[in-house]
Structure 1
């Protein structure tokens, strides 16, 4: 009887049911689109952050910035003075530690011993500046008279020096010393070896190098080529391509070789840390800061604060304005559905009063009204899911491009890495990445939509059921014409 009456009433009131369902559908669709876009923002930000530190890295440890250190140092280049008239090319390399702040290699062991740390590995960030060129001796030419000058230098031939000078080229690139005994952790893991091979665990002091593909192309390097750093020749054994964004460094060499080149024996600039449980990252960070003095711990959450540009703006809109807007629209849809259902009940006073006069109890009338509202809610849920999926698909199909600008900064404690996350040092402030926005719809989002549909039906049914339960059979007699 319940379903028969329900089917008949919904068929008879199709227009009213469609209005209620449509209102709920719009609210549910907006929630789905906002939630899927927010998820897409999160994935886009993860893509940006993933390009700044090694895969599997949960946090990095760098030396705490000292207020007495200005983080600057002028490189000096020494060239020999020659008086043999030769114009032979000269060159001078300067290998500098990025940030000029280092930690003792023993700190890696201290960090690795903290509760909640699964593994820790150190690395050394270097910047190499090479100046090469030649001096050309100028020629002294006397004046046309060929006489001598009568000025302060009387008796000296008069004339001027013409030609000569110096022409030098400056080449700057980044070098990262990696611990080859732990290849699963560190910034090199965010790149893929596309030619040649990676380091082996036995090449701790090997004069071998892996070169980023962009730098290799710029300098015409390939597997088997030779790369000289501060007079030391390294054999290129592999070419690496960053999975996303910019690479961690231009050149990767074994850590011991990097320490030798920089005269920084048993020193590291960055410690990459893997936690035993991703849910314990905050507690691990607190433990390291408490037990390992003089360090700064940076997590991906800290690094996310340095991401600006249209990605950051869009993410902020999606998480604040978008969610609040969807909540307001959803609440409005629920209220409208409830009011429309209540209004429909008021127009059915004679019907419900007659049913009560025939023996229907108030509870049965209420259940009938709630049942109709639930069907309207589920219908609105189906329409809302369809509209939401269509909206999310449209966003993914268009794939608007957002820019993420990585602010330089203090997240790395002064030794900075790419993006300040303590990775191999680069100028983070100049980095801008283009990220395509998608709007993935997860099963949880669909489940949320179904829940909202049921909730909408219950809200509408509560309004109408409360109104129906208050009707009396006498009301029906007053409406009889």
Structure 2
């Protein structure tokens, strides 16, 4: 009887039911789209952070900035040829990014902290190569005696000569080949050749970033020279998103030799045993290991600016508040319409009560109709929301993320593998701009939330109508004429 009466009433009042369901559907669809876009923002931000940190890295440890230390300036020296002949000159300067290093023993101290699953050190270097030649000028004698005179004249002039030098700058990252699961190299995929072997701790081998390899026409088997040392390219790596952490990757011990930084690292990459304990692990490291700065992914996320940050703020703040407002309005409208419909059915409910229906049965009938409207609105809302999220994913708008301005050095955002420029101690790295495509994945949690909202909307509408219906008295109802 309940379902028969329910079906008949919904069919007879289908226009009113459609209005209530449509209002709920719009609110639920907006919630689905906003939640899906917010989820896409989170995934886009993860891609940005992975391009600096590498997969599996929860935080980095770097040396605390020392404001009293002055920035070093690279110096180049070229020897003159005794015979005055022209000869190409070349000089390399290998410098530690940020000029701040930690002892390699610090890696073991960090790994021994409670809550740390693994830790690995790396050394980030910047190489400046200056090459060119001096050209000897020719003296044009203009004074008395002409050409061949023993003494130069004030009128003599030197014509020609000068210098022509080219400056080439590139980054080199020393990676611990025995720990391949952590570090910036994990954010790139080997697309040609191979990665390092665990036995190549001090081998003269290198992995080149694909963009740098293309620029320098390198391939597997090619040779690159860094500070007079030749390295064989054994692999080409392509960054999964954004720019690569370095142009060249070499074994850590080789990087330490190039920079005269034996047993030194610039960055320690840390993986926590539990992602929920990252905050406590950070506090423990800073407390137990003095002179260090710990940067988590949450800290680095705060430095993200550009359109990704703007869109994320809109999705998390404006979008969610708008969703709440629309939902509240939809629930109120659904409740008021249901209550209004009950008012128009006074005689009907009065007759049913006169025939023996209890107030509770009438209330349940009204709530059932409201729940049906809510579920219908939920189904329509899920369809609209999924369609909207799919449209966002299909369009995949490109967002820019600018990273930089970290207070530390040697780590992400501070002159480390993620830094975009060679900086002095305590100075901020130049901004690094990455482009990411926005998607809007719809999760089962979001669908479950939509169903919950549909049920809630139906209950709210049913509560309005049921309260109104429960107050009806048969005698009063029969005296009213629709």
- TM class by shorter chain equals over 0.9
Asked whether 1:366 is paired with 2:378, we answer: no
Shift of 1:284: 1.0
Deviations 1:31-53 (A, max 9, x none): 11111111111111111111112
Aligned length, in residue pairs: 472
For 1:292, the equivalent position in structure 2 comes to 289
Deviations 1:30-89 (A, max 9, x none): 11111111111111111111111211111110001122135x211000110223121010
Asked whether 1:445 is paired with 2:439, we answer: no
Q: Tell me, in whole angstroms, the C-alpha distance in 2 between the residues paired with 1:228 and 1:189.
A: 24
For 1:397, the equivalent position in structure 2 comes to 394
Q: 1:127 to 1:155 in 2, by over 3 A?
A: closer
2:143–2:155 Cα contact (<8 Å) kept: no
Q: Tell me, in whole angstroms, the C-alpha distance in 2 between the residues paired with 1:454 and 1:424.
A: 48
**Residue of 202, 210, 219 corresponding to 2:207:** 210
1:53–1:421 Cα contact (<8 Å) kept: no
For 1:423, the equivalent position in structure 2 comes to 417
Shift of 1:327: 0.5
> What SS class does the counterpart of residue 441 from structure 1 fall into?
coil
Unaligned regions of 5+ residues in structure 2, if any? 422-428
Q: Tell me, in whole angstroms, the C-alpha distance in 1 between the residues paired with 2:395 and 2:65.
A: 44
**Residue of 394, 399, 414 corresponding to 2:409:** 414
Moved more, 385-394 or 330-339: 385-394
Asked whether 1:58 is paired with 2:58, we answer: yes
Q: Give the alignment of 1:232-243 within 5 angstroms.
A: 232-243=229-240
2:282–2:294 Cα contact (<8 Å) kept: yes
Asked whether 1:160 is paired with 2:154, we answer: no
For 2:304, the equivalent position in structure 1 comes to 307
Q: 1:155 to 1:320 in 2, by over 3 A?
A: closer
For 1:76, the equivalent position in structure 2 comes to 75
Q: Tell me, in whole angstroms, the C-alpha distance in 1 between the residues paired with 2:418 and 2:393.
A: 33
Shift of 1:229: 1.1
1:93–1:129 Cα contact (<8 Å) kept: yes
1:405–1:429 Cα contact (<8 Å) kept: no
For 2:31, the equivalent position in structure 1 comes to 31
Deviations 1:324-362 (A, max 9, x none): 000000000000000000011111111111211222111
1:125–1:424 Cα contact (<8 Å) kept: no
Shift of 1:157: 5.7
For 1:264, the equivalent position in structure 2 comes to 261
Deviations 1:185-223 (A, max 9, x none): 111111112222211111111111111111111111222
2:57–2:183 Cα contact (<8 Å) kept: yes
For 2:426, the equivalent position in structure 1 comes to none
Deviations 1:286-339 (A, max 9, x none): 111111111011111111111111111000000000000000000000000000
1:62–1:422 Cα contact (<8 Å) kept: no
Deviations 1:260-287 (A, max 9, x none): 1111111100001111112211111111
Q: Tell me, in whole angstroms, the C-alpha distance in 1 between the residues paired with 2:477 and 2:146.
A: 133
Q: Tell me, in whole angstroms, the C-alpha distance in 2 between the residues paired with 1:33 and 1:75.
A: 53
Asked whether 1:86 is paired with 2:85, we answer: yes
Deviations 1:405-445 (A, max 9, x none): 113322xx12243x349535433534222211111111111
Q: Give the CA RMSD over aligned residues.
A: 1.7
Unaligned regions of 5+ residues in structure 1, if any? 149-153
> What SS class does the counterpart of residue 191 from structure 2 fall into?
strand
Q: Tell me, in whole angstroms, the C-alpha distance in 1 between the residues paired with 2:403 and 2:419.
A: 13
Q: TM-score, normalised by structure 1?
A: 0.95
Q: Give the alignment of 1:191-202 within 5 angstroms.
A: 191-202=188-199
Q: TM-score, normalised by structure 2?
A: 0.95
Moved more, 207-216 or 326-335: 207-216
Q: Tell me, in whole angstroms, the C-alpha distance in 2 between the residues paired with 1:368 and 1:465.
A: 8
For 1:151, the equivalent position in structure 2 comes to none
> What SS class does the counterpart of residue 127 from structure 1 fall into?
strand
Q: Tell me, in whole angstroms, the C-alpha distance in 2 between the residues paired with 1:248 and 1:374.
A: 55
Moved more, 5-14 or 316-325: 5-14
For 1:229, the equivalent position in structure 2 comes to 226
Moved more, 72-81 or 335-344: 72-81
> What SS class does the counterpart of residue 286 from structure 1 fall into?
helix
2:98–2:415 Cα contact (<8 Å) kept: no
> What SS class does the counterpart of residue 429 from structure 1 fall into?
coil
Shift of 1:109: 0.6
Shift of 1:390: 1.3
For 2:424, the equivalent position in structure 1 comes to none
Q: Tell me, in whole angstroms, the C-alpha distance in 2 between the residues paired with 1:140 and 1:395.
A: 72
